[in-house]
Amino acid sequence: MAFISIRNLKKYYEMGTVTVKALDGVDLDLEHRSMAVVMGPSGSGKSTLLHLLGGLDRPTAGEIHVNGGELTHMDENDLAVFRRETVGFVFQAFNLIETLTAVENVGLPMRFMNIPKKLRHEKAMHYMEEVGIADRADHRPSELSGGQQQRVAIARALVNEPTMILADEPTGNLDSTSGWSIMEILAQLNQSGRTVLIVTHDPRIGQFTDHIIHILDGVIVPELTDQLLEQFSSQG
Partner 1 sequence: MKLRELTSLIFLNLNRRKGRVLLTAIGVVIGTAAIVVLVSLAQGLQKNANEQFGNIAELSRVNVSPNWERAMEAMESGPGGMPSGEMPQPDPITPAAIEAFAAIPGVSAVIPRASVMGGTVMKYGNLEAYAYIIGVGTDDFSILNYPMKSGVADLKKGELILGEEVLKQFYNPSMRPGQEPPPPPELQDQTINLEVTKWTVDENGNGIETKKVLRMKVVGIIQASRSEADYAVYMSLDQVLDLNAWVNGRRFDPNKDGFEMAMVIVEDRSMALDVANQINEMGFMAYTPQEFIEGVNSFYVVLQVIFGGVGGVALLVAAIGIANTMTMAILERTREIGLMKALGATNKDVLSMFLGEAAGIGFIGGVGGIFLSLLIGELINIFGNVYFSSQTTSMYGGGGGGISVDMPLWLIVFALLFSTMIGLVSGLYPALRAASLVPVRALKYE
At a CB cut-off of 8 Å and minimum separation 6, what does 218 contact? 11, 21, 22, 23, 24, 25, 26, 44, 45, 48
> C-beta of 10: minimal distance to partner 1 in Å?
16
Alpha-carbon dihedral angle through residues 125, 116, 118, 145, given to the nearest 10 degrees: 30
Q: First CA to last CA across the chain, in angstroms? A: 37
> C-beta of 4: minimal distance to partner 1 in Å?
18
In this structure, are residues 88 and 141 in contact, taking their beta carbons and an 8 Å threshold? no
Please identify, using beta-carbon distances, which residue of 105 and 148 lies nearer to partner 1.
Answer: 105
- Binding-site size for partner 1 (CB under 8 A) equals 25
> C-beta of 41: minimal distance to partner 1 in Å?
18
> C-beta of 53: minimal distance to partner 1 in Å?
11
> C-beta of 159: minimal distance to partner 1 in Å?
9
Residue 47: C-alpha distances to residues 52, 59, 133, 233 (Å): 9, 13, 27, 18
DSSP letter at 169 equals S
Please identify, using beta-carbon distances, which residue of 157 and 205 lies nearer to partner 1.
Answer: 157
User: Is residue 85 a contact point for partner 1 (CB under 8 A)?
Assistant: yes
Query: Which of 149, 160, 195, 200: binder of partner 1 (CB under 8 A)?
Result: 160
3-state secondary structure of 5: strand
Please identify, using beta-carbon distances, which residue of 103 and 224 lies nearer to partner 1.
Answer: 103
In this structure, are residues 141 and 105 in contact, taking their beta carbons and an 8 Å threshold? yes
Please report, as a single letter, which amino acid is at residue 220. I
> C-beta of 80: minimal distance to partner 1 in Å?
4
Please identify, using beta-carbon distances, which residue of 85 and 130 lies nearer to partner 1.
Answer: 85
Query: Which of 95, 191, 192, 231: binder of partner 1 (CB under 8 A)?
Result: 95
- Residues of this chain, 109-148, that bind partner 1 according to CB under 8 A: 109, 111-114
In this structure, are residues 53 and 214 in contact, taking their beta carbons and an 8 Å threshold? no
Residues in contact with partner 1 by CB under 8 A are: 51, 54, 56-57, 76-77, 80-81, 83-85, 89, 91, 95, 97, 99-100, 108-109, 111-114, 156, 160
